[in-house]
Structure 1
Amino acid sequence: MKPKTIFAHIACLATLTIAACGSDTPDTVDDAENIDVGDVTLTLVTHDSFAITEGVFESFRDSTGITVEVLTSGDVGSLVSQTILSEGNPVGDVIFGVDNTFMQRLLNSEALETYESPELTHVPDGFELDSSHRLTPIDYGDVCVNYWIDALDAPAPASLMDLAKSDYKGSLVVQNPETSSPGLAFLLATIAGTPDWEQFWIELRANDVAVTSGWEEAYYGDFIAGGGERPMVVSYASSPVAEVIYADPPVDSPPTGVLLDSCFRQIEFAGILSGSEHVAEAQLLIDFLLSPTFQNEIPMNMFMYPTAVTAQLPEEFIEHSLLTDSPLSLSPAEIEANRQQWTERWVEIVLG
């Protein structure tokens, strides 16, 4: 997944100390007061873009007594690979940040425990992509083409196919799907959303598309927001919200728009690692990740959207949100079966 922290103002937290509870599993975090407090440390293994306000865990600490340390483990691909390699002898207890572009690889292993959180009653069924309940949906976001409204020489594109038109020659910068989570998501968007994705990328190359290794290089390099010359970039549906929040001087509306026809939905999941010695406590942590206390913190820290309907979005997200009602998607199984050949073919077409 992205660096999911949209702007440099958002720091990735390497380690947090929080509380959890004893050996018997409560139905929810609120029931933790009914169990014995244990001297246990949980390790939450996540990607290197994880960010959350440390204070969010105070209520969890008040209810429980288990320390949780956050261990970052590279990007989502590295996170999944390392989890599979340590199957049965995990470096942590709970994994967070596996998304739908890599989840099937993890589900094909024996690295996860089954757990159906009672908090899932607050999560719409569409987010639950794992019927075995080994991965629990925690947050989501859309990867989309963003454009600088005042910098386009033509009207804003209305569809993915428009990006290959001569009106937008030399306008778009994308990320390499072999090295970038948003780059992979955009490749998947073109596979799901165009009649012939290979021909589409042939036309994009002819239309002088630029390619960077990652999101930061694209957004703060070639894109106008960072002083570059290109008015269109693959980023996130939440990027315009961030442009308003961090604008200096302040602005009333975002300078960027989103091509909704280009949006591919990413869903992030958490799961309990097989071999954990603290499964009951890990279940409690999964419940907490779906609680309003944690869910309410997701937008302003990770610029993603909470999956639980009990969460409250910040006013900035309500006012400036540009989520589509019909995001592009592919099944996790189809992605897993084809991801390598798709990315290799993309390299041949675009970089060859």
Structure 2
Amino acid sequence: MRKRAFIPILALGLGACSLAGGSDDGDQAEQVVLVTHESFALPDELVAEFEDESGYTLKVQAAGDAGTLANKLVLTKDDPTGDVAFGVDNTFASRALTEGVFADYTPAEVPAGVAGYDLPGDDGSHLTPVDNGNVCVNIDTTWFASHGLPAPTTLDDLTKPAYQDLLVTPGATTSSPGMAFLLATIATYGDGWPDYWKALLANGAEITDGWSDAYEVDFTQGGGSGNRPIVVSYDSSPAFTVTDDGSSTTKALLDTCFTQVEYAGVLAGAENPDGAKAFVDFLLSPEVQAALPEAMYVFPVVDGTSLPEDWAAHAPRPTAPLTVAPEQIDAHRDEWLRTWSDLVSQ
């Protein structure tokens, strides 16, 4: 039985390597340095297209999850390590904006649909939406069928004894999906969310640093030898566990989802702001938007972009995703993360 691998098509952890043409010692004015997270991936031919059309060489500095990316951008804001950033999402973006990480820039041509994903309070003046998705609890449907155990359907179910030691989730302090899952519990339980997490942890929930460890290592359908059939991942994930008979071995629980939007922006103090602007524009091009589902497992933000066939059948979207107002996230993020850290360290 064949399963599509849920692994980015470009090598991760690219460090400070150049993707095509040029070298680390090349003329900085001819180079665009992209600071991003470990899951950034675009087909080689699209990178070559950007370089051919813009005249710049794209150099990628990728390390860590999106949460780590946001923290690094804030720490280096006075001496940025690149020209443009991609991958800061709506759970961390307000902090980066408050800290002055990004320069003013709005693409001259914003395709239809994009403005609907603007971060409230920014309206696209610093951060340009590039993709979106929903962080959801995912389950291995084959595991539950083979074990004769009814699959969970709600967040409440995850604290029940029947599901002890079955959940793995990336951590909220180091991972944007982990932060999104924390926000989903805050949206659901309000001020009572710490009690929910106490129950979740007492029921054996495992915490990892990032999504890759949770999904690809510990999840039973992640391609490794994992032993946990419940994982925090994305609503698109089941489209990548399709077997030869056309069915998926996993399912996203759509009542547990929190919407995540990823942005790109020109870094304040960039050595090559023109190149940075060119790359932001390029991310909204039809070619890149069409490549996003297969390359990075996310939904495009431009209206009318075609999706892969498997997505229509196996990646349904939640009709009423959980939400927390950005101003609430900005006001309480540090407090929530301190409380969460205290809980998981006990």
- TM-score, length-normalised on structure 2? 0.84
Query: Cα deviations across residues 111-146 of structure 1 (Å, max 9, x unaligned)?
Result: 322122134232344311122610001011221111
Between the aligned partners of 1:64 and 1:268, the Cα distance in structure 2 is 23
Question: Of 231, 242, 260, which residue of structure 2 is paired with 1:233?
Answer: 231
1:312 pairs with one of 306, 312, 316: 306
Counterparts of 1:217 and 1:320, CA distance in 2: 23
Q: Which residue in 2 is equivalent to 1:170?
A: 165
Q: Deviations along 1:42-100, whole A, 9 cap, x unmatched?
A: 21221222111110134434433222222224333332333333335432221111111
Matching residue's letter, 2:230 = M
Q: Which runs of 5+ in 1 are unaligned?
A: 20-38
Q: Give the 3-state SS of the residue equivalent to 2:255 in structure 1.
A: strand
- The letter of the residue matching 2:151 is A
Would you say the 8 A contact 1:18–1:60 is kept in 2? no
Contact 2:8 2:41 in 1 (8 A): no
Change (3 A) 1:348 1:84: closer
How many residue pairs get matched? Answer: 326
State whether structure 2 residue 220 is matched by structure 1 residue 224: yes
Q: Provide the C-alpha distance between the structure 1 equivalents of 2:58 and 2:170, rounded to a whole number of angstroms.
A: 34
C-alpha separation in 1, matches of 2:246 and 2:32: 43
Q: Which residue of 2 aligns with 1:131?
A: 123
TM-fit CA distance, 1:288: 1.1
- 1:15 matched to 2:18? The reply is yes
| Alignment match of 2:293 (pick from 256, 277, 299) | 299
Mapped to 1, the partners of 2:108 and 2:143 lie a distance apart of 48
**Given the alignment of the two structures, is residue 330 of structure 1 paired with residue 330 of structure 2, yes or no?**
no
Cα deviation for residue 258 of structure 1 reads 1.0
Partner Cα separation in structure 1 for residue 195 and residue 57 of structure 2: 52
Measure the CA separation in 2 of the matches of 1:211 and 1:192. 20
What do you get for the CA RMSD once the two structures are aligned?
A: 2.7
Aligned AA for 1:157? P
* Structure 1 outlier segments of 4+, above 4 Å: none
For 1:253 and 1:76, the matched residues in 2 are separated by: 31
What is the one-letter code of the residue matched to 2:44?
A: E
Distance in 2 (CA, whole Å) between partners of 1:86 and 1:207 is 39
Question: Does 2:203 correspond to 1:207?
Answer: yes
Q: In the alignment, which residue of structure 2 is the partner of 1:97?
A: 87
Residue 251 of structure 1: how far off its partner (Å) = 4.1
Q: Where does residue 176 of structure 2 map in the other structure?
A: 181
Aligned counterparts of 1:351 and 1:319: Cα–Cα separation in 2: 40
Mapped partners of 2:9, 2:130: distance in 1 = 23
Measured after TM superposition, the shift of residue 17 of structure 1 is 3.3
**Are residues 87 and 15 of structure 1, via their aligned partners in 2, closer, same or farther at CA, if it must alter by over 3 Å?**
same
Tell me the distance in 2 between the aligned counterparts of 1:211 and 1:149. 22
- Matched letter for residue 255 of structure 1: T
Q: Report the Cα offset of residue 266 of structure 1.
A: 1.4
Could you tell me how far apart the structure 1 residues matched to 2:139 and 2:330 are? 30
Indicate the residue corresponding to 1:26 in structure 2.
Answer: none
Asked if 1:49 corresponds to 2:43, the answer is no
Deviations 1:293-347 (A, max 9, x none): 1111111111111111142212222222132122222233322332232223223
In the TM superposition, residue 103 of structure 1 has moved relative to its aligned partner by 0.6
Residue identity (%): 41
